[in-house]
Structure 1
Amino acid sequence: MTLLKLTRPTGLLASAARLALGLLLALGLAACGAAAVPTYNLTAPANFQAGGGGSGQLLVVAPTALAVLDTDKIVVEPGGGQVTYLSDAQWSDRLPALLQARTIQAFENGSKLRRVARPGDGVNADYQLVTDVRAFGLRITPEGPMAVVELSAKLIGAQSGRILAAEVFKARVPAAGTSGEVVTLALDQATDQVLVALVRWASRRF
């Protein structure tokens, strides 16, 4: 090992060196003290039948969402109009991107059509599925913690641009507590309910 001999800085140089050293120590301590937040995923529902026998092709557009939901953080509504986030859990991606991926997989798992893609895949689609995330998170209710998922959906003719059908899908699943593990499990179960209903609804229309 080669040792470097350092000369002692003086004056302004010494002050700058002390400041830099202090900043490095502060950053190092902050990095050491910051614990990694556990990351959770949503699963796509499987082993269900959606029906439908048409030949249409569907594009699933990434859902829109307010800024509070357009994140990888997990929303908690303690009441009184307040919104916060779980400190011990996060999603594996931004919620709209995650929901888009799981919606496509749900169509592939439950629909006999399997002609589903996302914008940019080069598919000449007949229909577009446009969704908006109205609610997605843990809500503290008088009955206890509740995982709440609510999506509004519109099926749009790709050529005409007309709304062919519209529906709102909701699910509420009690959570066994407020820890990240149990909250994400309840949200996953609520998402499954919503996606199965959405896929069945849309598949009957193309």
Structure 2
Amino acid sequence: MGFRLVGVAAAMAIAVGTSGCAQLLGGGDKAVPTFDLTAPSDFKAPRSSTAQLVVAAPSALQVLDTERIVVEPKPGQVAYLEKAQWSDRLPALFQARLIQSFENGSRGRAVGRAGDAITPDYTLLTDIRTFGIQAFDGSPEAVVEVYARIVGSASGRIVAGRLFTARVAAAGTAGPDATQALDTASDKIFVEIVDWASGRY
């Protein structure tokens, strides 16, 4: 099926949302087809305050903190696709596309990342719990699960938190099919996170 097992026995969670298509890129290991995630642009999030938001780098288990694309051939059994990779480590790629999604849907609201020359009022923390293909039961499915928290920069208190999950049927476990389904699922998650967060800061 084109994937290799790794020695991890853990349940991974995923954060989601997708509606674009994975794109073949020239970066990364040129011997391996490389794919990107897209950022949704055809939506408008609710406008609330003029507060500034920083999107922190997502946390993720080591099995997800890589360019490799995860597939679960059996429940609790983790593998990587052999002939496909992301254009960057998944947390960095997810953060970049989430920020783009805020920029695309938030009507000019100030948003950035830690280290940018802004003084944030709030920080968005995300934990990528699952981001891969579940290939068991004969029906491969892209699953993304992400937990998000909004934290007040001055108080350090959690303002809001929510779990986001998306599932999208995949045409197969080959690189193009798997990444297209994961891109669609992640786009859904991006839109949901931006809509949710925009009404809370």
TM-score class, shorter-chain normalisation, is 0.7 to 0.9
Kept after mapping to 1: 8 A contact 2:134/2:142: yes
Paired residue type of 1:73 = R
Which of these residues, 114, 136, 150, is aligned with residue 119 of structure 1? 114
**Runs of 4 or more above 4 Å deviation:** none
Which of these residues, 144, 148, 168, is aligned with residue 173 of structure 1? 168
Kept after mapping to 2: 8 A contact 1:54/1:113: no
Paired residue type of 1:201 = W
Which of these residues, 130, 147, 166, is aligned with residue 135 of structure 1? 130
Larger RCO, structure (CA 8 Å, separation 6 or more): 2
Q: TM-score, normalised by structure 1?
A: 0.82
Indicate the SS of the match to 1:147.
strand
For the pair shown, the structure with the greater C-alpha radius of gyration is 1
| Residue ranges of structure 2 left out of the alignment (5+ in a row) | 1-28
Kept after mapping to 2: 8 A contact 1:171/1:194: yes
Are residue 152 (structure 1) and residue 134 (structure 2) matched? no
C-alpha distance 35-157 of structure 1, shift in aligned 2 (>3 A): closer
Kept after mapping to 2: 8 A contact 1:57/1:115: yes
Q: Equivalents in 2 of 1:189, 1:114: separation in Å?
A: 25
Q: CA RMSD in A?
A: 1.3
Kept after mapping to 2: 8 A contact 1:53/1:113: no
Tell me the number of residue pairs that the alignment of Structure 1 and Structure 2 aligns.
173
Aligned-residue offset at 1:143 = 5.5
Work out the percentage of aligned pairs sharing the same amino acid: 56
Aligned-residue offset at 1:178 = 0.9
Indicate the SS of the match to 2:140.
strand
C-alpha distance 35-161 of structure 1, shift in aligned 2 (>3 A): closer
Kept after mapping to 2: 8 A contact 1:52/1:113: no
* Counterpart residue number, 2:66: 71
Structure number having the greater helix percentage? 1
Aligned-residue offset at 1:53 = 2.4
Are residue 164 (structure 1) and residue 159 (structure 2) matched? yes
Q: TM-score, normalised by structure 2?
A: 0.84
* Counterpart residue number, 1:94: 89
| Residue ranges of structure 1 left out of the alignment (5+ in a row) | 1-33
